Structure 1
């Protein structure tokens, strides 16, 4: 649906009620009685899971699966596919700077990318009452999956030129992918760049944010928003995140939401940050209620705050906890009116 996202974000900021956009698709897979493997391999199944979740919960936007293996697989990385857990990259594709030089930027027909484009296309057509947010990986996180996370950290110091070559190739591909996602009719993309949190603010800007900004400048407009997710940020690289010019920022549970939001521009959304594992998945409903209420109370002076999970909620997250999350938000909003 053609929705003005600049206006949508402004409306959220001006509205008295707090909105919720938890990053979750796995409960939708469970609603339709399918497997994670089927959803990450088949666009039709993936789309059905997104729609099922949108029908069940009053989220302010619908999100696709946060799968950080799709782009790496397209480049040629080996992926393991458990039936009911998220996929994972096996080993690494590149060993040397020479491998980086020889690396070819793949087409959008490689791997499962066509199925993800299909899922977004179908979701954008089916869900018309709220924005649909696609997903992609960030440049530094993709580079780490191709070269090995420890090795890329060494490379940025020992051979920054080779690191920049790899990041340029990753950025070229992600930009191409984001343009294709935008053409499906979705309203934005959640770009997951958790590995950037391993770096200092200065290095995060040089080896991540400068590349993210390049993509943001090419694809973001009034009708398509980039939401930058960095659950590796403990609060030390929020400035670098904001330097990207993204329309919204999504924070993980390792940081203090009330602290990081102070560095976010007042006209950009700041989303987060309940722990997806210890709270959403493992807590009791009473604990879920307490954690949600506590975060809402701490954030009530910030109009640009959006309640969310700190990352993608994992498979087997209890529906009782998700129900409690939304009930607590509704109770809080009633108490503030």
Structure 2
């Protein structure tokens, strides 16, 4: 790709292509929770205390020197801010306990809530501010996607059925979720995020048409909010998202973050489907490889992925999802070393 064309691309694409032209890859493991182990904080404390959250991400940055620092992944934050009951284990990510929204009346009661004033949301905004201002790597913030937030409010199976059987009912819920998320995305941008990663794991159970209508179309709006503030967006889906690549890449995002091959994802084929204007991020298995394998096995798996993607300029080396707590530091070091050693 020529320099003239490169200048027209997003900053994420530009930095990815420049790294490729220099014979290296951008390294961006989704590593938040292992930082708790390094910094000596429980996940519960880190997810509720922005200073502790920052210290965990700083520990990852100082130990491994990634090109991108992702904040801790938390799919409960927006639902919690809307009053949905959430469980807070000591050393696991917070999880939504109930999905009580089942009617238009239930939804109406939530419309007056400004989630950016919520104490946990405010904590995440402060964590982004600290990461962005104090670390030299790019800062990437997380937020839920519209289908996923709708599922957290009403239940994943229920919204999947409603999307097909009661589309008008589900559309109202998706529209509400999207508006809440646009407000949160704007606040994350203002806090200093360089990129916002939209987490849409519930979307994997939808067919392409429903996904396009209830996720991608709304993500286009979220992307526009971020772009107006000079911030780019990443679409992340857990599981086999191969049937959704075209819709995801058509939403205007700069990059797709995809799960490991064990789920059915073919990263090279995904890159072909997405096209050269969208960066593909992935996709070492975060549990079977990064947590449960030896350092040498991690090194080998990472090297194999680099060989597979060696002819794909728009590729960022990463993990298929957030690394779990207890991931050995030597395994993350092996992941990083494999990229530095690769001469393919």
SS in 2 for 1:50: helix
The question of whether the paired residues in 2 share the 8 Å contact of 1:35 and 1:84 is answered with yes
- C-alpha deviation, 1:8, in angstroms: 4.9
Does residue 13 of structure 1 match 2:17?
A: yes
Show the counterpart of 2:128. 120
The question of whether the paired residues in 1 share the 8 Å contact of 2:249 and 2:278 is answered with no
Query: Structure 1-normalised TM-score?
Result: 0.94
Q: Which of 106, 110, 113 matches 2:118?
A: 110
- C-alpha deviation, 1:97, in angstroms: 4.3
SS in 2 for 1:227: strand
SS in 1 for 2:234: strand
Show the counterpart of 1:201. 208
- C-alpha deviation, 1:221, in angstroms: 5.0
Q: Which of 289, 306, 312 matches 2:322?
A: 312
- Pairwise mapping of residues 14-53 of structure 1 onto structure 2 (< 5 A)? 14-15=18-19, 16-53=23-60
Show the counterpart of 2:268. 258
CA distance, structure 2, for counterparts of residue 265 and residue 157 of structure 1: 30
The question of whether the paired residues in 2 share the 8 Å contact of 1:269 and 1:304 is answered with yes
Q: Which of 177, 185, 201 matches 2:184?
A: 177
Show the counterpart of 2:226. 219
Show the counterpart of 1:322. 332
CA distance, structure 2, for counterparts of residue 210 and residue 234 of structure 1: 17
Structure 2 gap segments, 5+ residues each: 1-7
CA distance, structure 1, for counterparts of residue 231 and residue 150 of structure 2: 25
Deviates more, 1:92-101 or 1:281-290: 92-101
SS in 2 for 1:208: helix
Does residue 72 of structure 1 match 2:62?
A: no
Does residue 278 of structure 1 match 2:282?
A: no
CA distance, structure 1, for counterparts of residue 238 and residue 103 of structure 2: 28
Deviates more, 1:43-52 or 1:222-231: 222-231
The question of whether the paired residues in 2 share the 8 Å contact of 1:25 and 1:63 is answered with yes
Q: 1:319 to 1:208 in 2, by over 3 A?
A: same
Structure 1 gap segments, 5+ residues each: none
Q: Deviations 1:39-62 (Å, cap 9, x if unpaired)?
A: 001111101111121111121111
CA distance, structure 2, for counterparts of residue 5 and residue 224 of structure 1: 13
The question of whether the paired residues in 2 share the 8 Å contact of 1:106 and 1:173 is answered with no
CA distance, structure 2, for counterparts of residue 233 and residue 100 of structure 1: 31
Query: Structure 2-normalised TM-score?
Result: 0.92
CA distance, structure 1, for counterparts of residue 166 and residue 277 of structure 2: 38
The Cα RMSD (Å) is 1.7
